[in-house]
Chain A
Amino acid sequence: MQTRFSFGGDEHIFAEVGEAMSLEAFFKSLFITNAVRDAKIKGVTEICPANASYQVKFDPDQIKPDDLLTELKRLDSASEKSEPVIKTRIIEIPVLYNDPWTHETLMRFRERHQNPEGTDLEYAARINGLDSVEAFIKAHSSAPWFVSMVGFVAGLPFLYQMVERKRQLQAPKYLRPRTDTPKLTVGHGGCFSCIYSVRGAGGYQMFGITPMPIYDPNQTISYLRDFMCLFKPGDIVKWKPIDRAAYDAAVADVDAGRFAPIIRDVSFSLTEFNRDIDGYNSKLDGVLHGR
């Protein structure tokens, strides 16, 4: 993989590690951005990893653009030698698939959808060759997902499914974006799932909703007191399908301040993962549930 660098005006360097999404490109972007952070380069103000690329914002009054570019290229070639292992977290996210709120929203914006006669889940199941919504939910929730980028709006995770490419679920975005999406909607566009951290516009297919807040600017939710955004790039997410009763109970727990998400520390090796994907994922599941 040859990284392509470009200046984004006089204050940004944009680096495209891969044109296509892959775990290899994501890992490289994560590694280099960590290395840039550790290098504490004078004049660097923002370090942003993305799915298969990254961006560094800088103050050209403090570092010459060409000098920073040279430094980034040096870190880029040094990263080739590093072992693709990260220390990260695995987080369980409960999801009420096929929920009434995203259903109401998707009905409201039906004329902007590829398949106005059905729901987003029915459409996604069909174009992925699955014979039912249940089979699609199983495919969506059985393997874990990498948080490959955080952004668009505050705290929103982009998630990349940890299965072979031929099994990865794909779906186009809406034909025209919606002007509304319920907060905490689990969405999907291209090969990425996401969780909408705030209510607002969106173009991803809507599959369900989680009762678990992931962004809290007031920092009153127990697990968001240290920082208002839950996710960091490199986190691993496992969806847990729940029913309406469990959803209502979780919402009540969140409101009462007693909701405790399941979050475990874990070390992830890309080499070992690639050797036996299903086996590695079931080990991750074991870590999540203390087995």
Chain B
Amino acid sequence: MAVKVLKPGLATTVQDLGRPGYYHIGIPLSGGMDRHALVAANLLVGNEAGAAVLEAVFMGPELEFTEDAIVAITGAELPPKLDGEPRETWTSFKVKRGQILSFDFLKQGARGYIAVAGGIDVPVVLGSRSTYALGALGGFKGRKLEAGDELPVGRAAATVKDGRSVAKELRGQPAGMPTELRAMPGLYWHRITEAAGNGFFSDTWKVAPEADRIGYRFKGGKPLEFVPREPPFGAGSDPSNITDACYPYGSIQVPGGTEPIVLHRDAVSGGGYFMVGTVIAADMDLIGQLQPNTPVKFVKVDMNEALAARKSRSELLGRLHSALA
């Protein structure tokens, strides 16, 4: 069983739940940017929660199936078509051998997850099938898909059904405008003035065009004013420089104090820019569904609120598992 790539889409990659354990040598977690949607797609087609799927950003690929299969599309509202006939997102459906899966224009969100019963069976590298394109590692030949690629598919569970779907309240997609991203101030927060700190959380930012798996850039808020200092040896002369250090996933660096960048699943593991804080783990999935120009507000939370949000996100995942058990 294989899936032939007729058209690759914009930047379609193989992803699973990622590759922990190698961040200390610069190899990031990778994996689906919207992990909740990735798990939903897998459960819909009877896969393990962390099986490898395709992550398509902004634009879907065109795929031909060499055997009958069950597939499901979750995440962004990227409407699937089977031989030109519309199909539902968040719902498993049958594909016959030789049929072509394509996609209509993106209606909402940014990243669609395409799961095939059996999972995309590329080699496991350092414990994961995820693509880390910057390091040419994992996925399909370490890169985004190209026309002509043939993706191997694993053996599907015997009991896969089509027509199963995920209720709206279990999808975990961003809701409301502007999108609120909860963040804990910290790291090098002390480098900016109190007024700049308040401005960071009260301004409305917009997703910049430079938004990818490495990080999301935001613009439109006021530049941050720094507390004056004598540059420490090794840091560099710009007030936003630090002695090169590790970057947490979700950390918010602001080079030159102007445009915040939130690092995501393919994060650079470290560097020389100060960070004002970190988007909490519970809200990382939401970032993966933001289109350029989406208005965003950073909402200040403390550790207790972050842990409560984490618990509620994990309960949502639990309800998703129960619903699709």
A253 interface hit (Cβ, 8 Å): no
Binds A, one of B78-86, B92-100, B306-314: B306-314
Residues of A within 8 A of B205 (CB): none
A20-B235, A152-B270, A217-B125 are known contacts. Are A46 and B21 too (CB-CB below 8 A)?
A: yes
Contact between chains at B306 and A9 (CB < 8 Å): yes
A84 interface hit (Cβ, 8 Å): no
**Distance in angstroms between the alpha carbons of A49 and B306 in the assembled complex:** 25
- CB contacts under 8 Å to A, within B1-28, are 20-21, 23-27
Chain B interface mostly helix, strand, loop or mixed? mixed
Contact between chains at A52 and B234 (CB < 8 Å): yes
Contact between chains at A153 and B186 (CB < 8 Å): no
Contact between chains at A151 and B135 (CB < 8 Å): no
Binds A, one of B33-41, B167-175, B194-202, B277-285: B277-285
Chain B residues within 8 Å of chain A by Cβ, number: 53
Contact between chains at A190 and B187 (CB < 8 Å): no
Who on chain B is nearest to A53 by CB?
B245
Contact of B27 among A16, A50, A154 (CB under 8 A): A154
**Distance in angstroms between the alpha carbons of A48 and B280 in the assembled complex:** 19
Who on chain A is nearest to B138 by CB?
A217
The CB with the most chain A CB atoms within 10 A, among B234, B235, B272, B303, is that of B234
Nearest chain B CB to A109 CB, angstrom units:
18
B184 interface hit (Cβ, 8 Å): yes
A21-B243, A192-B244, A229-B25 are known contacts. Are A10 and B232 too (CB-CB below 8 A)?
A: no
A51-B234, A152-B269, A153-B268 are known contacts. Are A10 and B306 too (CB-CB below 8 A)?
A: yes
- CB contacts under 8 Å to B, within A41-61, are 45-55, 57, 60-61
B324 interface hit (Cβ, 8 Å): no
A279 interface hit (Cβ, 8 Å): no
Contact between chains at B245 and A19 (CB < 8 Å): no
A11-B248, A60-B307 are known contacts. Are A154 and B132 too (CB-CB below 8 A)?
A: yes
Residues of B within 8 A of A49 (CB): 24
Residues of B within 8 A of A48 (CB): 23-24, 246, 269-270
B-contacting residues of A (Cβ < 8 Å)? 6-12, 14, 16, 18-22, 33, 45-55, 57, 60-61, 65, 149-156, 158, 165, 172-173, 189-192, 197-198, 200, 215, 217, 228-229, 231-233
A-contacting residues of B (Cβ < 8 Å)? 20-21, 23-27, 125, 132, 134-138, 142, 183-184, 186-187, 189, 232-237, 241-246, 248-251, 268-272, 275, 277-282, 303, 306-307, 310, 314
